[in-house]
Structure 1
């Protein structure tokens, strides 16, 4: 009798277990989650029967806040959502799967994760300014407009923009919206969030075939102000074009990958002030006409009175002429630029090249730079502190003296320099690290040669360079800007910690979706185009399918041809009839469909 009861109990338990497993066969499964710089994300597998998802974030002890649907995206093997604009703290995310009636059929909540703040310092933040459309704590400014752009709808999005009388008019397409903003009357903060890959053929507002154009009407009361262009997640990319700014203030570019741009990846052309460019991946541009433009003309170009700028936490992949700053542009005052925590990953030169610039250069990782690192020319003052130089032959150079003019073969100083024929500036160096195991370090301090030196080395940050120390050509004395009473506060990391910090945080979120590791053995001294990297960029295929309630956004991922009655999937993973609901995109006059396995 007891045996029969036990058998019955086991049978009931087995049936219950079978039903539980059957009902949870497609239960929500969190695949990956992490907190980062003012953002957090979660990835999960699709849930059978779900037609849409809601995603919430909550800080420790706070209330749940639902994120925008356009931050919820589908990829071939998973869903992903990113919560943006978070102040530093501990957060967790909750994902809810809903059926057609709006009923929650499953949900999952992540553990708490740490969200860190971006480092907001440098010349871009002087005079109380906070570049872009986010506040100092990382949350959006009041009254902000947030636009989501994909390759499919960048020319269809709408936004209200006010005229000089305060009347709001609705404009369609990012190009028209920016044109309306460029009149300089509406100062409403604007966040442009790039979802997936935007191509030069997909965006109708391209300027000169090369740029997304950000321009104000004048450089006084009608400049373009308070705009942030940022990527969503780890795969936001501008493909085939870059960004240009003229007559702008308080602008921000972040978390983007820029590939095969036409001229410069980011051009700060004329009268720009309080600009912050950070956490961006810079790849090869399109080859130019000149021999030194085979990797593109330049990654960042700063000139014509563009000043009070911070360039930070960017990743430069084998760029040729990385940053030309100042140039022969008739500057009447020095441009003030801060460069910190950038990864010069097997780049060639101009990291940066200075001309009429006051530069604070700290905590950068010079990782196998083949030609030279920092080039200092006419009337420039550079404070170079606590950087990490690995296998860089010429880390710092002053035009017209030191290793720029020294000929090792003859043991004499030549008439022509190796990187510039311009006059020299002056460089102050403090507490930098140099690791040269395979290449010979060419660096001369004033302690080695009182006249023909590459930098003036100091023993403390506060030490000033004597006024009578001047460059050989141009007789430029160091301005000692860094010890002046109005210098901004900064707390550089120890130079030894720089590689680890930068490899963790430089570039796009999670290091971006196109990762590349160079071979130090071959790439440290090679400044030719890396054929394998170039091929990876040219053949780059985005994986994004679309965001919630949207069809496919990435043209490169679309398979051409009609469906012929095959079954396809919508954004939530639900099967739908191709005869009644096709995921269709019109691209350059041809009809394309996305068919998922």
Structure 2
């Protein structure tokens, strides 16, 4: 299956537009002269609209505006300059925080003589995010997981907005209320800002907008000792009102993960999370009303045990985390997609819907104790198992498409699990109510009350109870073989944050999920899985890992200035000599045989030869690469090195 940008077919459409007759055909590859300005691409997504345009040769800067398509020109609102970015051959701007509706965007080039030229997009149709599941249940603590946003997708009144890039992650500042008297402390660096918010005095809505590929080296000093950006409250379920979001199609948390602990009302969206240290997005302890959606979860690098070659959990939650929705995420060959529960004794509530489990192996999710609604997910070539229940948990599994999932549903020590050595470590079983799922090519699925599975029904040792209607209660006569637990029928007695009308027809699940899961417009990363091989293999795909490790951003600069102000990887980047430690140097600093070796245990690079081009500056004569590329800068006496990971 090829993952690529698609036309919107379900909730909205992606509109290719042009202002001049010759403007169709994708990204512009040449600079526009004579102060002409043409929009080459544009479209609407979920609560976001974007435009792209060709560079104007004599433009000093750009401004971008957005308004409702039906509003007068006086209603144009200028977007933040950080939302305007250069990609060399084209520029792009994203208007974020839009309610569903039709919009137009105006691009204005400010020329070197201070005159302006502008052009306006065609209509851009913006859709609403699907706010469903337990994160939005009426009986939950905060009633929403929208973070800094209102239910219609607009920013809440008084919201703060913070932009984080590879260049400013360590230096960005924000004033944070840090005492009951209203005293304010200025945090410096995204990690410091979030640490100040942990004090619990500042509950103002905060949208943290990440732009481009941000590496663990860029985040030096901002992560905890385990390699996570930590969003932490003062105590269980603390009100945070925070959204962490990527801008556009190419934002990456690259080499680091996100840890949520003791938080309430937090949203994480539109991020590519790659090469994370253990878990990608970890909801560790005491979280409530959390919404994790439209993210791309790639390989991690835990690598401890054999079953962690792809990382540990992509989106794990445990220790009293409840009223959480995981939706529209794209899991790329995950080894362990989502652990739900660890040592809980009390019931908790989780929803997974419209996720794309793309050739991943297990834990979709793997549930202990919890009450979990699993609907409209696409299980696409699952080498081990889909939904697994243990420890008295209850899961309602409805209207999902299981395509070549080896074991779609399992309960510990019974049914399919009892046919082998046991998948769930000897824990007591859990109960699944299954309804209206599409099952293609399962190796085994044993229902308690029907012969519809691939093996005959078994009323005492089964994988799931097959309901004849959505509202059917599972009789208490059906119990787990080990533990004697009955299904708790939560789906017929409590608010799940979703109605029957919200459930998509199972025949449309593949189409909807492959179009809408993951980052905006499916993100900028493409990969073709080989179903004949990858459906059954649980091994790390070395070619996929190589492509992830060698990913290079195309982003050139952030901000409306036409002269790049924030070069990333397309050109050599000079780095402060004190940014990276563990350097051993040899050779004559002012001659042509300077060598440098990275001693940091996380990466290895062989010695290379460099030449000086000016006093105190070094350029690469013979580039040396292993997993990563390096650039060097020197002062009079020392050589520094900084990772600019592909």
Higher helix fraction: Structure 1 or Structure 2?
1
Match runs of 1:275-286 below 5 Å: 275-286=290-301
The secondary structure found in structure 2 opposite 1:510 is helix
Deviations along 1:11-70, whole A, 9 cap, x unmatched? xxxxxxxxxxx9965621222111001101111110011011111111122221111000
Question: Which of the numbers 198, 203, 216 marks the counterpart of 1:200?
Answer: 216
1:196–1:553 CA contact under 8 A, matched in 2: no
Inter-partner Cα distance in structure 2 for 1:476 and 1:552? 61
1:307–1:337 CA contact under 8 A, matched in 2: yes
1:264–1:300 CA contact under 8 A, matched in 2: yes
1:321–1:350 CA contact under 8 A, matched in 2: yes
Partner of 2:154: 139
Inter-partner Cα distance in structure 2 for 1:158 and 1:497? 45
Inter-partner Cα distance in structure 1 for 2:373 and 2:494? 15
CA pair 117-79 structure 1, distance change in 2 beyond 3 A? same
Partner of 1:73: 85
Partner of 1:96: 108
2:364–2:387 CA contact under 8 A, matched in 1: yes
Deviation at 1:287, TM superposition (A): 3.7
Deviations along 1:450-489, whole A, 9 cap, x unmatched? 1121110111111110122111011111111000054433
1:184 aligns with 2:200: yes
Match runs of 1:193-342 below 5 Å: 193-203=209-219, 204-219=221-236, 223=238, 225-327=240-342, 329=343, 331-342=344-355
Deviations along 1:318-368, whole A, 9 cap, x unmatched? 0001111102x2x12122100000000000000100001100000000000
Partner of 2:454: none
CA pair 589-302 structure 1, distance change in 2 beyond 3 A? farther
The secondary structure found in structure 2 opposite 1:361 is strand
CA pair 170-287 structure 1, distance change in 2 beyond 3 A? closer
The secondary structure found in structure 1 opposite 2:524 is coil
Question: Which of the numbers 444, 458, 480 marks the counterpart of 2:447?
Answer: 444
CA pair 52-485 structure 1, distance change in 2 beyond 3 A? same
CA pair 543-487 structure 1, distance change in 2 beyond 3 A? closer
Deviation at 1:440, TM superposition (A): 3.4
Deviations along 1:301-331, whole A, 9 cap, x unmatched? 111111110000000000001111102x2x1
Partner of 1:507: 518
5+ residue gaps, structure 2, are 1-30, 451-456, 575-611, 615-631
Partner of 2:362: 349
1:46 aligns with 2:62: no
1:28 aligns with 2:74: no
1:197–1:235 CA contact under 8 A, matched in 2: yes
CA pair 586-75 structure 1, distance change in 2 beyond 3 A? farther
TM-score relative to the length of structure 1: 0.86
Inter-partner Cα distance in structure 2 for 1:507 and 1:118? 13
1:318–1:345 CA contact under 8 A, matched in 2: yes
Inter-partner Cα distance in structure 2 for 1:70 and 1:485? 43
Deviations along 1:481-508, whole A, 9 cap, x unmatched? 0000544332210011011111111000
1:28–1:47 CA contact under 8 A, matched in 2: yes
Deviation at 1:254, TM superposition (A): 0.1
1:322–1:352 CA contact under 8 A, matched in 2: yes
Partner of 1:400: 413
Deviations along 1:144-193, whole A, 9 cap, x unmatched? 11000001011111111112211223222111111110101110111100
2:133–2:496 CA contact under 8 A, matched in 1: no
Q: What is the number of equivalent residue pairs in this alignment?
A: 539
Inter-partner Cα distance in structure 2 for 1:103 and 1:355? 64
Partner of 1:546: 557
Partner of 2:587: none
Inter-partner Cα distance in structure 2 for 1:521 and 1:40? 38
TM-score relative to the length of structure 2: 0.80
